[in-house]
Structure 1
């Protein structure tokens, strides 16, 4: 994985995007990886079959809410 300082996003956006079209790239701040930039194709290939998903509480499927309620009840106060 290539690494680019966040300042390169402003100065060399074309180069960073070209690299991200080939493979995911790491965007660093203060020499620490902070973000990953990748093509939508790479993202979909990596996460399309991932069964994990996040929901807002009000949007969670009822079976998930029931499971959490059962767990909370079993765990007690």
Structure 2
């Protein structure tokens, strides 16, 4: 992925947008990638084909999902303890 700084974007937006026409480009700020510039068509395709899986942080897991996962985790933990002894 080609990278451009925010300063380069401001100075030469034509070059940056032409590069984004070919493939997504990273826009950096203080030498860290902060943004991605891509065509709207690429963005729409990415959104349409997105992976339906989600990641939940502590306390964010929906109750119905936790009710499915917790018993299996407890079983795996118990198996691990019995296998180590």
Fold conserved between structures, TM > 0.5: yes
**1:3-42 paired onto structure 2 within 5 Å:** 3-42=3-42
The structural deviation recorded for 1:48 is 1.1
Given the two structures, how large is their TM-score scaled by the length of structure 1?
0.64
- Any unmatched runs of 5+ in structure 1? 53-67
Given the two structures, how large is their TM-score scaled by the length of structure 2?
0.58
- Any unmatched runs of 5+ in structure 2? 53-61, 68-85
Query: Deviations for 1:22-42, whole angstroms, at most 9, x for unmatched residues?
Result: 100000011100000000111
In structure 2, what is the Cα distance between the partners aligned to 1:48 and 1:41? 11
In structure 1, what is the Cα distance between the partners aligned to 2:3 and 2:29? 10
The structural deviation recorded for 1:50 is 2.5
For residue 10 of structure 1, give the secondary structure of its aligned residue in structure 2: helix
Say which structure, 1 or 2, has more relative contact order (CA 8 Å, 6+ apart).
1
CA RMSD of aligned residues (A): 2.5
Count of equivalent residues: 62
